[in-house]
């Protein structure tokens, strides 16, 4: 029944056209757990430096997130700083200070090795593989990655693909990894390299789940204001995996529904800076947004449409 996330717990300094936050809670494991814990207990494996404001993670503990797998090491925590363009569609990294994260080699505590549901946050694919080597028999392993690893750890990433069940990438990453511009071909390429399920995230345009025999679309939730896109992808993954773990099933019907939880959580994440909106979020609000998605996509086919011609 366990849902394990391995990733970063960081401090983000972010500037968007709407403001700036300094040293706010960030990192893939933080966003993921904040989202997933609305639906299922989560266990985190990560590393922080001796300067990390661990008390700020108490909201996660109150939601049943097990933080005992966060190692605290002498040194600086992982810090990232970036600035977004006026339309929030691109961002520039101003500074990355890895700190203790540089030598992070995730050791999974024995009690967590039996987890059924695993999310490998965006870290070196060698380390993602190292995590999987320690796991007993997970039912679904989902994996994130980024342009950096596609560039400099391509072989390790390709070795990882057959070992994970689901790869989550954005459209640019899908294209870069596969060398295919067309997203359907890109997803088929990834599936042909061993990963059965592929989710391509397209920001405001939603996300597409490629299954072996079917494709499913989740729209992006139409927001009048987007404050900070940081962490939206990890919140998506958290909504998706939290729902799947809660449903206890990877049936296609449940995966489709999980896409809506992912898209809902991604949309909440960007409404405020950092994890702020996820901290205040209630499960009922998520269910409302999922119901809104249904209203925005549901239609019935009419099989008696009169063929005028042809």
Applying CB under 8 A, which residues contact a copy of itself?
37-41, 62-64, 86-87, 181-185, 202, 204-206, 208, 214-217, 219, 222-226, 242-243, 246-247, 253, 256-257, 259-260, 281-284, 287, 290-291, 294-303, 305-310
In the bound complex, what is the minimum distance in angstroms from residue 105's beta carbon to a copy of itself?
30
Cα-based torsion angle of the residue sequence 266, 271, 277, 278 in order, rounded to the nearest 10 degrees: 0
Shortest CA distance to 187 belongs to which of 162, 212, 151, 217? 212
Nearer Cβ to a copy of itself, position 124 or 180? 180
Q: How far apart are CA 73 and CA 310, in angstroms?
A: 71
In the bound complex, what is the minimum distance in angstroms from residue 39's beta carbon to a copy of itself?
5
Nearer Cβ to a copy of itself, position 80 or 261? 261
In the bound complex, what is the minimum distance in angstroms from residue 310's beta carbon to a copy of itself?
4
In the bound complex, what is the minimum distance in angstroms from residue 78's beta carbon to a copy of itself?
26
Q: How far apart are CA 182 and CA 126, in angstroms?
A: 28
Nearer Cβ to a copy of itself, position 137 or 309? 309
Nearer Cβ to a copy of itself, position 43 or 128? 43
Nearer Cβ to a copy of itself, position 105 or 181? 181
What are residue 207's DSSP bridge partners? 201, 218
In the bound complex, what is the minimum distance in angstroms from residue 222's beta carbon to a copy of itself?
4
Q: How far apart are CA 262 and CA 32, in angstroms?
A: 10
């Amino acid at each position: 029944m366990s849902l394990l996330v391995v990733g970063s717990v960081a401090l983000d300094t972010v500037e968007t056209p709407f403001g700036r936050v300094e040293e706010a809670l960030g990192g893939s494991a933080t966003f993921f757990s904040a989202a997933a814990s609305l639906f299922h207990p989560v266990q985190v494996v990560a590393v922080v430096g001796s300067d990390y404001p661990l008390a700020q993670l108490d909201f996660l503990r109150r939601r049943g997130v097990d933080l005992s797998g966060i190692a605290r090491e002498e040194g600086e925590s992982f810090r990232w700083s970036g600035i977004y363009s006026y339309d929030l569609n691109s961002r520039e990294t101003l500074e990355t200070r890895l700190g203790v994260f540089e030598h992070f080699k995730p050791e999974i505590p024995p009690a967590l090795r039996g987890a059924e549901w695993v999310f490998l946050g965006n870290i070196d694919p060698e380390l993602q593989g190292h995590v999987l080597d320690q796991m007993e028999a997970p039912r679904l392993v989902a994996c994130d990655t980024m342009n950096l690893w596609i560039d400099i750890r391509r072989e390790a990433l390709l070795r990882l693909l057959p070992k994970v069940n689901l790869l989550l990438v954005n459209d640019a990453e899908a294209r870069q990894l596969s060398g295919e511009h067309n997203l359907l071909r890109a997803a088929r390429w990834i599936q042909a390299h061993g990963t059965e399920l592929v989710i391509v995230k397209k920001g405001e345009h939603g996300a597409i789940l490629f299954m072996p025999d079917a494709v499913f679309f989740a729209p992006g939730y139409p927001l009048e204001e987007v404050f900070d896109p940081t962490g939206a992808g990890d919140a998506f993954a958290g909504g998706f995996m939290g729902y799947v773990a809660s449903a206890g099933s990877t049936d296609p019907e449940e995966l489709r529904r999980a896409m809506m939880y992912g898209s809902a959580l991604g949309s909440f994440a960007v409404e405020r800076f950092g994890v702020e909106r996820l901290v205040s979020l209630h499960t009922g609000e998520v269910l409302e947004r999922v119901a809104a998605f249904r209203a925005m996509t549901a239609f019935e086919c009419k099989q008696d449409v009169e063929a005028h011609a042809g």
